[in-house]
Structure 1
């Protein structure tokens, strides 16, 4: 890796597109700082984001309680109350809901912040900032990271501001390793295929969605173009990015691999990843129902330091196919220029909306 600091700063910019809230002015100074560790960047974002959230007020939701009270509150628990009567206790067993800050959203924020504060890779300045905002979380419990059901978290009007913060928490907590010493957590390397592939895909989509609204960037499913029979058991064709302008369509499939080329075991030669090429070809041919040739496909890899870098354009059964790389270890202006060139090379001169 040529300069980890540059790559980490670019991850901030990628997050800024994936989560538009980071484009607000109170996050500006983060983009100008140099980070040696990704955990330090996450700590800076969380410290800023939680501080901003505290000014708005922590999200509250109704939490169920069961208490023995002198007066009725909420719903009477008959069985519990009879039990008290038999023991000659003048108490009512009550079940009631109460608005509380001690909910799973704030528990995730607290747990993530505490774990980041324990990481030696997090700068003292960032740890201090997290400790400061955590003073307001005394009434909030910690939560075991493995117990978090990320797929059932629902965002609505009152907690929409938590969306970006909890995604940062997911990146942090999903990469945790339990240390054998003192039962503490350690951070795994965020810059792996699993985490970066999701961010890479989301970034490219949101970049085109923001800067080129006329291309109507989206990530739709493609229907199978079959002549007869049922599609019930055919796999879903879920695209990463689809750009459309009038009759022209460009389907982009992003890939973040440690190796952008595959090695043919028998001969030792390097080729494009077979499955990726089959996949994009299938997407293109099923999208181009009329065989017009106006649908193109592109495999877009994050560039590695390998000596052989994929860079090819070719026609396949009447449709243009491309295999390209995007260099993420360069100034962000160069990254933007690479993405701009992809759009203009296929759609021609097209208006760009500046940030």
Structure 2
């Protein structure tokens, strides 16, 4: 039996070198996939230069966008007018007796450049400005802010890019918005020279957990050849059902894995579940034991998906992957034809070692790692 788990934040994510926070942000970003091999190597070796690269690309993209006019959008207005425009609000018009005053209440759309997208781009310049030291980049950001202010475009740190549709002319906006999202992610609180001290708050832990998960996914998608590997992030896993009752589908929950990697040649599958706590806890009999709930979760991912018509599911490997500080664990065991792996990535190491350790961990389960897109 395990004792109630104590707070383990101090042992896992409390002190991470700033350069390795940048490294995780690099791996997690869409920008990482678009970089050339030499540029990726340079940034992996010096991840603190990521902010400089992002600033340069952002300023270039915004300047080009301003040269050919910002994208427009429709904004809804409700106003009392002297003529009909758009849709008439009959109830308000009658209630306020506007017709007797020669006016009518209307709802209409008007074309504007003060859109959520442009406000998001404008706000990114302010966030970026506070993090830069290069005088040339600072001046370019100030010019961008002046232009947006002159155009009477506000600021917004929220933008639902998933609802946006991009045509051929909007591809530049898509790249620019990718840079903006990365800029907001890099605005880490309590920034100091040297190391970061993350406050022991659930919000901060969730932020790092999400970042760590995205970083592992981005790292795999960039370093594994899509010709030889199938990589799925956030894949839904469903229970294999026999003789279901009429309403069971409305109540039975599905599962969502963090990362599934499959080697086409080996016909073997790896299911990775990332965590952001200590890899071990304390029991009544041992000072350090792996956490039962995490093992049960991974066990469910593996055994619930076994299907004779899907051969890789019958001997799939499961991995629990944790960020750690000054701790390296790589243990494995086979349970009911499935290998279970318990691994940590030491985020206190040099960025080159972090990359090497990730490749080593991910290559041990497959028959060969020769199809990795090595870029060093």
**Same fold, TM exceeding 0.5?**
yes
Establish whether residue 221 from structure 1 lines up as the match of residue 208 from structure 2. no
Q: Give the Cα–Cα distance (whole angstroms) in 1 for the partners of residues 41 and 255 of structure 2.
A: 40
Out of 221, 228, 245, which is 1:209 matched to? 221
Which whole-Å CA distance do the structure 1 matches of 2:281 and 2:160 have between them? 33
1:304 aligns with 2:325: yes
Provide Cα deviations, 1:89-119, integer angstroms capped at 9, x if missing partner: xx786654333221222223334543565x5
1:74–1:225 CA distance, 2 compared to 1 (3 A): closer
Q: 1:260 aligned to 2:267? A: no
1:164 matched to 2:217? The reply is no
User: Alpha carbons of 1:192 and 1:127: their partners in 2 closer, same or farther (altered >3 Å)?
Assistant: farther
Write the distance in 1 (CA, Å) between the matches of 2:71 and 2:204: 32
Once the two structures are overlaid, the 10-residue window that deviates more, 152-161 or 71-80, is 71-80
Hey, what does 1:323 align to over in structure 2? 342
1:345 aligns with 2:364: yes
* 1:248 equivalent among 259, 268, 271: 268
Match in the other structure for 2:6: none
Structure 2 matches for 1:136-285, cutoff 5 A?
A: 136-138=147-149, 139-143=152-156, 148=158, 154-157=163-166, 158=170, 159-168=173-182, 171=185, 192-210=204-222, 211-213=224-226, 214-219=228-233, 220-229=235-244, 230=248, 232-246=250-264, 247-257=267-277, 259-264=278-283, 266-267=284-285, 269-285=287-303
Deviation at 1:329, TM superposition (A): 3.7
1: CA distance between counterparts of 2:100 and 2:52? 54
Count of matched residue positions in the alignment of Structure 1 and Structure 2: 328
Q: SS of the residue aligned with 2:322?
A: strand
1:132 pairs, out of 137, 140, 143, with 143
Q: Is the 8 A contact 2:28 2:218 kept in 1?
A: no
Aligned-pair Cα RMSD in Å: 4.2
Deviation of 1:296 after TM superposition, in Å, equals: 0.9
TM-fit CA distance, 1:30:
9.5
Contact 1:47 1:130 in 2 (8 A): no
* Structure 1 unaligned spans of 5+: 178-187
List runs of 5+ in structure 2 lacking aligned partners.
Answer: 1-13, 191-197
Match runs of 1:26-37 below 5 Å: 31=43
1:43 Cα deviation from its structure 2 partner: 8.4
Which is further off, 310-319 or 63-72? 63-72
Residue 34 of structure 1: how far off its partner (Å): 6.3
Higher RCO (C-alpha under 8 Å, 6+ residues apart):
2
Aligned to 1:204, the other structure's residue is in SS state helix
Give the TM-score taking structure 2 as reference length.
0.69
Report the CA distance shift for 1:15/1:296 in structure 2 as closer, same or farther (over 3 A): closer
**In the superposition, relative to structure 1, how do residues 160 and 342 fare at CA in structure 2: closer, same or farther (>3 Å)?**
same
- What is the TM-score with the length of structure 1 in the denominator? 0.73
Select between 1-10 and 102-111 the one with higher mean Cα deviation.
1-10
Residues 1:223 and 1:354: Cα distance change in structure 2 (over 3 Å): same
Cα distance in 1 for partners of 2:164, 2:304 equals 34
Change (3 A) 1:124 1:72: farther
Higher mean alpha-carbon deviation, 152-161 vs 214-223, is at: 152-161
